[in-house]
Structure 1
Amino acid sequence: MPLESNARVVSELASRGYNAEREAVTLLAGAERPAATLEAVVDAAPDDALRITADHVRAVVDERSDGPADDPAPPSRDSDDPDPSPTNPDPSPTNPDPSPTNPDPSPTEATGSFERDDENGGSPVETKGSGDAVRDGSDASSAPEPGSASAPADPSRRELEIANDMTGRSTGTGEYDDFVRTFRDRYERLSKLLRGRVNHRPATAIADMPGGSEAAMIGLVNDVRSTKSGHWLIELEDSTGTFPALVMKDKGLADVVDEILMDECVAVDGTLADDSGILFADSLHFPDVPRSRVTGGADRHVQAALISDVHVGSDEFVADAWSRFTDWLHTPEAEPVEYLLIAGDMVEGVGVYPDQDEELEIVDIYDQYEAFAEHLKEVPADTEIVMIPGNHDAVRLAEPQPGFNEELRSIMDVHDARIVSNPATVTVEGVDVLMYHGVSLDEVIAELPEEKASYEEPHKAMYQLLKKRHVAPQFGGHTRVAPEERDYLVIEDVPDVFHTGHVHKLGWGKYHDVLAVNSGCWQSQTDFQKSVNIDPDAGYAPILDLDTLNMTVRKFT
């Protein structure tokens, strides 16, 4: 057993049925002979022990240091614990005494993913570190000396609540009436957000008003088209009927019209034509989020790691980067990271795109989840984990997606992980994090101008969803929507953090005091991604300070 990292220590202990304190793992990884020390600790542990503590390790280390000067001979290569390769005499990357030739890596700047909030005065998103957005965690040269770990976190101080989880609450049967209920609920809840901005009237009431009257309507966008003269005709629908609004090209609203998607809820304010048959628009309004608000925050220094798109089972899963990430989580530097939020696509799946089987390392979907569970065991056992599904996972494709069936839950039952629906809101020590996998980002990017939404800056597409207060506003396109009595995709309560994945690109920024984060992936470029010109950002882990909402992005590739 070549113990090459803290994560390998955890894996070995897990294979023997033990959890471990972070400090215990650090002590084992930093021992002079980590493999032999681990064996001795396991042998010396009480029969009823389920968790290896730092005291267990110290007792063995102290006993060995008081014994003969010569360590026992290493096990033979035929045993289950072979010696490290002669070319790598010190295989642990968590070297407690880094060489001057391998100093603590300097932060490296991320390109194309740091976004200023122009709508809030151009203030940049604050990040920790030396003023740079990304810190290189590709080695563990910053690991402390053995035994210097801080005291383990107190689980009793943790606070984690889940809202908007529709798992087990699906009511839709696919009938026409189910869709009617979904869109009626969408209209009612989003229109409430707009009623304070315009003096709206129902469609039927507007049709009965005299020509030339000032009028306003709130409705779902039923159609948008250009006229021969270069104007735009928008048909709105509410619970009473439909009514057309004309946006003249000289009104200065072209930029707003460019952002409109089908089926979203908007308000139009203007003047009726002489025959009352059309509303000439003077202004357009989205539900949007407030420009400034009081955000939540923890009352202590604690952090959450935000990741997505692990894609275990793919030939291109970056296992080495994952191990470096989980190894880092066991270091005292990562002691504040008490939460791990995974925004979907735990596995690569089967049959998701053409010829996917040619790019699979694991071809059975259940075996993929078994392998993912093994990788998840490398995460410190005291970490609170929340997961939502994605479009590669073995759940229905239509959104909202329930959080896996019981068989898959039992496979992924690692560290008591919480598995909830996509989307869901996770309140972590007072910070509301809206987790959504992000399939609708493809549609937003395809429909809107590049300066408003692109794969290179995925957070800008997320801004559009916040503006529309809905994570998947457009129906009938690329994003499948399941009919439910309640539209679980509405962003009714404004989150502090909006966390997505799916597009495999790293990007973050603040929109009206909401931190939008797309966390990249753990899969290098596949042949399919090459064919659609996607160059993924693999091996990054955004680390969020829950007390300040500042963020550092760690790079492990």
Structure 2
Amino acid sequence: MPLEGPARIVSELTSRGYNAEREAVTKIASADDSRAVLERVIESLPEGALVVTTDHVDAALDGSQLTGPSSDRSGDSTDAAAQSAASPSTTDPSVSTGESSPNSTHEVGPSPVETEGSSSVADRSVDPDLRSLEISNDMTGASTGTGEYSDFVSVFRDRLDRLGSKLRSRVNHRPATAIESMPGGEEVAMVGLVNDVRSTASGHWLVELEDATGTFPWLVMKDREYVDLVDELLCDEVLAMEGTLADDSGIAFVDSMHFPDVPRTHEPSTADRPVQAALISDVHVGSQEFMADAWNRFADWLHTEAGERVEYLLLAGDMVEGVGVYPDQDEELDIVDIYEQYEAFNEHLKRVPGDLEIVMIPGNHDAVRLAEPQPGFDEELREIMSAHDPRIVSNPSMVTIEGVSVLMYHGVSLDEVIAELPEEKASYDEPHRAMYQLLKKRHVAPQFGGHTRLAPEEQDYLAIDEVPDIFHTGHVHKLGFGKYHNVLAINSGCWQAQTDFQKSVNIDPDAGYAPIVDLDTLDVTVQKFS
């Protein structure tokens, strides 16, 4: 059965690790049985070949085999291509996807690319004046926290002031001490941090809010329509409540509650030209399960015409596997020295086009402090990861590319959100829904004292002051994306196959995928390279 034209031939070749000359693709497509010719060409390619030429096609049609020179590219892409040609993947790992715009596409079939025309090497002659990249909220070099009690007071006061300001205009806020002195039966409202949430013997819910003056209890009745919102609450998040004081003024009955949230009227910014960004995370170089072949196919694809519109590469942490991150990790390491891991990562980074704008933030496997916010890497590691001069910033950071703001956060707090909230509101299978909760709370890691380590600073760098156009996370090794109040939320999967540790905690990773965002439309295409 014939292939469906040049585009299908290009997809098939790229899925097996090869590029092709335009004329070679045309010659294959014009054959009476293009599929049989394509298979004959692939079988007859000489060892080391990465680009299918017209000579290769002619030789296959003549029944002979070329023995031309092998590629001088570094790395193990030759082995990857040969393995792919011999035994192409027939199964895909599970993929979770969220709601996207009608024009968005999600490619999860055996072909790793969606393209038209040939896959010949692209001429990436981009006018640098057309590009723009700005970083905000980067706290690298600005850490002042000492762990003193006053530091914790400062960070929580800053959180309440900044996120509370988004709520005070919506309710008639009164401080906790002022509410205590008001007569019973009065209508009241308060903005504060969630200090405690507990159920009563009657099945109602008691939520204690705290502000700079003290605490006050609010009773959420079990038969009210908004009681399901209590399931979403995390300690230390900022919240506003309105209600009616009891006769003795010792408690207030809740009539409504408000989150800082993203306005439903939010209109995202878009680029003024057709340009794309690749959003990836969790490369985990140094692990025995690092998928070097998939990475090489991704890097090679970026060099083709299909990938030439990708001008930005955003990596949301865990460039390497790290050392001592979890029990018995050393048994799963391919590289046991942390500096050698980063050197190997840098070699893999060299494979992507040199004219890409690259932005990287650290993750919990990287060699930086675990407590968030995480400063960018130290100078020694920056020098090691110098390929293509990447921008290395803190976790989290806001990156604005051609007018489109991207909030980059590695995503450790997603574990906590998924553990605390009901499955229908946050799960590993749909990680973007957990991201919706963080957008709703306008904070990437609201709960203090849980599994997410938080460092006290003079200001709360984890608060989401400005609404991003794109929210990009990783960490959970699952792929998912969707839109929340017009904010595109993407969790980008990983480049590491399932480890023994992941098997023990029932994590089935989505590995070898690269979400590609059209910055002029915010549509998403997921390219598969595994």
Do they fold alike, i.e. is TM over 0.5?
A: yes
Distance 1:542 1:549 in 2: 11
Give the corresponding residue for 2:446.
473
What is the deviation of 1:109? 10
Residue aligning to 1:280: 253
The answer on whether the counterparts of 2:106 and 2:526 sit within 8 Å (CA) in structure 1 is no
1:345 to 318, 323, 328: 318
* 133 and 209 in structure 1: CA distance in 2 versus 1, 3 angstrom threshold: farther
**What letter matches 1:320 in structure 2?**
D
Q: 1:423 aligned to 2:417?
A: no
- Tell me, in whole angstroms, the C-alpha distance in 1 between the residues paired with 2:337 and 2:486: 43
What letter matches 1:125 in structure 2?
A: S
Asked whether 1:507 is paired with 2:464, we answer no
Closer/same/farther in 2, CA of residues 342 and 262 from structure 1, 3 Å limit = same
Tell me the distance in 2 between the aligned counterparts of 1:33 and 1:545. Answer: 37
SS in 2 for 1:536: coil
Residues 302, 547 of structure 1: 8 Å contact kept: yes
Task: Indicate if the aligned counterparts of 2:286 and 2:336 stay in contact, CA closer than 8 A.
Answer: yes
1:115 Cα deviation (Å)? 2.2
Cα displacement string for residues 229-274 of structure 1 (whole angstroms, at most 9, x for unaligned residues): 1111111100111111111112222211010000000011000111
**Once the 2 structures are TM-superposed, how far is the Cα of residue 113 of structure 1 from its aligned partner?**
2.3
Q: Is the 8 A contact 1:143 1:331 kept in 2?
A: no
Report the 3-state secondary structure (helix = DSSP H, G, I; strand = E; otherwise coil) of the residue aligned with 2:232: coil
Q: Choose the corresponding residue for 1:531, options 504, 523, 526.
A: 504
What is the CA distance between 1:515 and its match in structure 2? Answer: 0.5
Among residues 103, 118, 121, which one is paired with 1:144 in the alignment?
118
- Contact persistence 1:134–1:552 (CA under 8 A): no
SS at match of 2:229: helix
Aligned ranges for residues 14-29 of structure 1 at < 5 Å?
A: none
In the alignment, structure 1 residue 325 sits paired with structure 2 residue 301: no
The amino acid that maps onto 2:504 is: S
Q: List per-residue Cα deviations over 1:290-349 (Å, max 9, x = no partner).
A: 112221111100000000000000000011000010010000111100000000000000
- Aligned ranges for residues 212-227 of structure 1 at < 5 Å? 212-227=185-200
Q: Tell me, what secondary structure is at the counterpart of 2:343?
A: helix
For the residue of structure 2 that corresponds to 1:282, the secondary structure is strand
Instruction: Kindly indicate whether residue 233 of structure 2 is the aligned counterpart of residue 250 of structure 1.
Output: no
Counterparts of 1:438-449 in structure 2, within 5 Å, are 438-449=411-422
Alignment partner of 1:378 is 2:378: no
Q: CA deviation at 1:92?
A: 11
CA contact (8 A) 2:18 2:50 kept: no
Q: CA deviation at 1:530?
A: 0.5
Q: For 1:409, what is the secondary structure of its paired residue?
A: helix
Report the more deviating stretch, 487-496 or 251-260: 251-260
Give the Å deviation of 1:125: 2.8
Q: Corresponding residue for 2:166?
A: 193
Tell me the SS of whatever aligns to 2:482.
strand
The DSSP-based 3-state class of the residue aligned with 1:309 is coil
Q: Report the Cα distance in structure 2 between the residues aligned to 1:302 and 1:80, rounded to whole angstroms.
A: 27
Provide the residue aligned with 2:97 in structure 1. Answer: 114
Indicate which of 161, 166, 176 corresponds to 2:139. 166
Contact 2:295–2:495 (CA under 8 A) maintained in structure 1: yes
Check the 8 A contact 1:140/1:328 in 2, yes or no: no
TM-score (normalizing by structure 1): 0.79
Q: Give the C-alpha shift of residue 126 in structure 1.
A: 3.8
SS in 1 for 2:209: strand
The 5 A counterparts of 1:401-420 are 401-420=374-393
Instruction: Determine the C-alpha separation between the residues in 1 that align with 2:114 and 2:225.
Output: 54
Aligned equivalents of 1:138 and 1:270: distance in 2? Answer: 54
* Equivalent residue, structure 2, for 1:368: 341
Q: Among residues 401, 406, 416, which one is paired with 1:433 in the alignment?
A: 406
Matched, 1:496 2:469: yes
Is the CA contact 1:542–1:553 (under 8 Å) kept in the aligned structure 2? yes
Question: Paired residue for 1:483?
Answer: 456
Return the alpha-carbon distance in structure 1 between the equivalents of residues 256 and 165 of structure 2.
Answer: 18
Whole-angstrom distance in 2 between the partners of 1:92 and 1:367: 27
Contact residue 127 and residue 133 of structure 1 kept, 8 A: no
Q: CA deviation at 1:139?
A: 7.9
Q: Per the alignment, do residues 242 and 294 of structure 1 end up closer, same or farther by CA in structure 2, a change over 3 Å counting?
A: same
Q: Residue 203 in 1 paired to residue 176 in 2?
A: yes
- Alignment partner for residue 205 of structure 2, among 225, 232, 249? 232
* Alpha-carbon separation, structure 1, partners of 2:331 and 2:48: 38
**Structure 2 gap ranges (5+):** 1-15, 20-44, 52-65
The reply on whether 1:452 has 2:452 as its aligned counterpart is no
Q: 2:3 maps to which residue? A: none
What amino acid maps onto 1:364 in structure 2? Answer: D
Aligned length in residues? 472
Relative distance call for 1:396 and 1:142 in structure 2 (3 A) is same
In structure 2, the CA distance between the partners of 1:435 and 1:538, relative to structure 1 (3 Å rule), is same
Aligned to 1:463: 436
Distance in 1 (alpha carbons) for counterparts of 2:199 and 2:135: 43
Partner of 1:271: 244
* 3-state secondary structure, aligned to 2:190: strand
**1:522 partnered with 2:492:** no
Matched residue SS, 1:425: strand
Percent of residue pairs identical: 69
Q: What amino acid sits opposite 2:325 in the alignment?
A: V
Q: Secondary structure at the match of 1:475?
A: coil
Q: Give distance in 1, aligned partners of 2:49 and 2:367.
A: 41
User: How far apart are the structure 2 equivalents of 1:379 and 1:145?
Assistant: 16
Cα distance in structure 1, aligned partners of 2:349 and 2:111: 19
* TM-aligned CA deviation for residue 34 of structure 1: 11
Q: Within 1, Cα distance between the matches of 2:150 and 2:50?
A: 65
Q: Which residue identity lines up with residue 223 of structure 1 in the other structure?
A: D
Preserved CA contact (<8 Å) 1:114 1:133: no
